[in-house]
Structure 1
Amino acid sequence: MAPTLAHFDYQRVPVADGVSLHAAVAGTGSPVVLLHGFPQTHLMWRHVAADLATDHTVICPDLRGYGASDKPAEGDGTAYSKRTMAADIVTLARALGHDRFALAGHDRGALVAFRAALDHPSAVTHLACLDVLPTLDMWEVMQGTSAAVGFHLYLMAQPPGLPEQLISASADAFFGHFLDAWTSDPRAIPSDVRAAYLDACRAAVPSIVADYRASAGIDVKHDQADRDAGQQLGMPVAVLQQDWGSALGFDAAALWRAWAPDLRHISVTYGHFMAEEAPADIAKALRDLLAR
């Protein structure tokens, strides 16, 4: 049996026509929604969620296309735009009784959280983004040989067909590569959780590719439109990320500050899967954000 979040109740919540999200919910108090990254599921928050649930209502969904949530067809490309995925999360929170909530996301989940905060500023009280740049900025800094680290971004940006075929043929090797390469502490992802991640990804190749493909297309258009319009995040924002800037030649804090005037930017020494490697530190950072 796949692992679950201990002492959390699981619900299946309709959020759009034909799409329901699988979500774990626990605790009482002001609501916090935690969004997972790639190649993971809501399980990545298991330690942080347990900590926060002592005095907050914590909601941990699988994003559409991931885990046990529904995986609609890609269609015209809008099904996996971050705008659509963000609307899922706002609808989910409202269905659970929360018109306003704090939002934290890691990796892909951080991109969804970022878009939710831009599109639904009256709903998102606080925003935390872990180890990511906004989509538009990410593509702008990825250049030259340094872009090799993001080979998967370019692979999954290709038209439908080839990426899905290549990844499906070696799904465990492909997704396992990131679980191995992006952690500084392999013990942070125990064997049962790793197996659950691989099982979930193996069953979701088309939707995962569609999510990434959207980030090379429609998501860039949405970010550019907001940048051109001078849109910014009005809520308190915390960003925790590895110091990519010194390695790749950009100022990550400056890129984020252009979007978020009320920003606390923290460079960390953990690996990419920081909520699993250093959960106490991440929980504290989220609590510090919520106190602002």
Structure 2
Amino acid sequence: MALTIPGFDHIRLPGADGVELAAAVGGSGSPVVLLHGFPQTHLMWRHVAGRLVDEHTVICPDLRGYGASDKPEATGPDVYAKRTMAADVVALAASLGHERFALVGHDRGALVAFRAGLDHPDTITHLGILDVVPTLDMWNVLQGVPAAVGYHLFLMAQPPGLPETMITNSADVFFGSFLDAWANDPTAVPEEVRAEYLRASAAAVTSIVADYRASAGIDVVHDQADLDAGSQLAMPVTVIQQDWGTRLGYDAAGVWKAWAPDLDHRLTRAGHFMAEEAPDEIAAAIQDLLAR
């Protein structure tokens, strides 16, 4: 049986295009949706969610293609486009009666949150982003030897067949390598949680690859169109990152400022899995965001 967030209700809710998403829902008050990253599930929010429930309704879905959510076949480029995944989140929240809500995403979930902020500015009241830059900028800053940290982005961008076969044949090693390499504090992901992430990821190789492949195709098209149109995020935005700007040689805050005029950009000493490594810090930053 899959691990879940203690004290939360665990339900299935409608997304876009007939897809159903599994979600953990708890608390009461103004709604906050928390989107997980790779190679994780909604369980990554177990500590932060518990710190928010006294003042907020907290909704933690598994993204389409991940965890216990539906994993539709990638019959076209739009199936795992961040635009489609953002529509999932808006539909899910609406099914719970929330026409407006705050949205925080980590890693892949942050890319979905970014797209939701651009596509649904009247719906997303506040936007939190953990440890990414927008897809278009991501490809632009991945240069030279330091960019080897993102090798998986290039692997999963390849045409269907090779990436799925390679990853399926070594799923635990592949997904586990990121849990090992990206954590500053390995104890933040205990063995039973690690096992759940590996189980869920191994069962979703095809859809996870499709999600990443979309970020080398349709997602770039959508980001470029917004850049060309001068589109920006209209809501307050908080970005929390490791110091990728120094590591990769770019102005991380400047990249985000171009998209988000009302920006609070923060660096953290935690590793990539910051919601698990530093839940007090992340929960406090979310509360600061919601107070703006």
1:191 is the counterpart of 2:191: yes
Whether the 8 Å CA contact 1:168–1:202 is kept in 2: the answer is: yes
Of 141-150 and 65-74, deviating more is: 141-150
Structure 2 equivalent of residue 250 of structure 1: 250
Look up the SS of the partner of 1:10 in the other structure: strand
What's the offset of the Cα at 1:19? Answer: 1.0
Structure 1 equivalent of residue 55 of structure 2: 55
Whether the 8 Å CA contact 1:12–1:23 is kept in 2: the answer is: yes
1:38 is the counterpart of 2:38: yes
Whether the 8 Å CA contact 1:34–1:105 is kept in 2: the answer is: yes
Look up the SS of the partner of 2:194 in the other structure: helix
Partners of 2:278 and 2:169 lie apart in 1 by 33
Alignment of 1:151-166 (within 5 A): 151-166=151-166
- Structure 2 residue identity aligned to 1:221: V
Partners of 2:221 and 2:28 lie apart in 1 by 38
Structure 2 equivalent of residue 98 of structure 1: 98
- Structure 2 residue identity aligned to 1:171: A
Partners of 1:128 and 1:156 lie apart in 2 by 26
Look up the SS of the partner of 1:48 in the other structure: helix
What's the offset of the Cα at 1:17? Answer: 3.3
Whether the 8 Å CA contact 1:183–1:271 is kept in 2: the answer is: yes
Partners of 2:168 and 2:204 lie apart in 1 by 9
- May I ask how many residue pairs the two structures share in their alignment? 292
Whether the 8 Å CA contact 2:117–2:127 is kept in 1: the answer is: yes
- Structure 1 residue identity aligned to 2:247: A
Structure 1 equivalent of residue 267 of structure 2: 267
Partners of 2:118 and 2:18 lie apart in 1 by 25
Structure 2 equivalent of residue 119 of structure 1: 119
Partners of 2:159 and 2:2 lie apart in 1 by 33
Whether the 8 Å CA contact 2:16–2:84 is kept in 1: the answer is: no
Whether the 8 Å CA contact 2:32–2:103 is kept in 1: the answer is: yes
Post-superposition Cα deviations, 1:97-133, rounded to whole Å, max 9, x if no partner, equal 1000000000000000000000000000000000000
- Structure 2 residue identity aligned to 1:291: A
Post-superposition Cα deviations, 1:166-201, rounded to whole Å, max 9, x if no partner, equal 000000000000000000001100111100000000
Alignment of 1:1-292 (within 5 A): 1-292=1-292
Moved >6 Å (runs of 4+): none
CA RMSD of aligned residues (A): 0.6
Partners of 2:62 and 2:89 lie apart in 1 by 10
Whether the 8 Å CA contact 1:136–1:220 is kept in 2: the answer is: yes
Whether the 8 Å CA contact 1:2–1:192 is kept in 2: the answer is: no
Whether the 8 Å CA contact 1:3–1:196 is kept in 2: the answer is: yes
What's the offset of the Cα at 1:146? Answer: 1.8
Whether the 8 Å CA contact 1:270–1:277 is kept in 2: the answer is: yes
Partners of 1:22 and 1:222 lie apart in 2 by 27
What's the offset of the Cα at 1:3? Answer: 1.7
Look up the SS of the partner of 1:76 in the other structure: coil
Look up the SS of the partner of 1:33 in the other structure: strand
Partners of 1:41 and 1:6 lie apart in 2 by 14
Partners of 2:49 and 2:267 lie apart in 1 by 22
Look up the SS of the partner of 1:80 in the other structure: coil
Whether the 8 Å CA contact 1:30–1:56 is kept in 2: the answer is: yes
For normalisation by structure 2, the TM-score amounts to: 0.99
* Percentage of identical aligned residues: 71
Structure 1 runs not aligned, ≥5 long: none
Partners of 2:25 and 2:143 lie apart in 1 by 41
Partners of 1:212 and 1:243 lie apart in 2 by 23
For normalisation by structure 1, the TM-score amounts to: 0.99
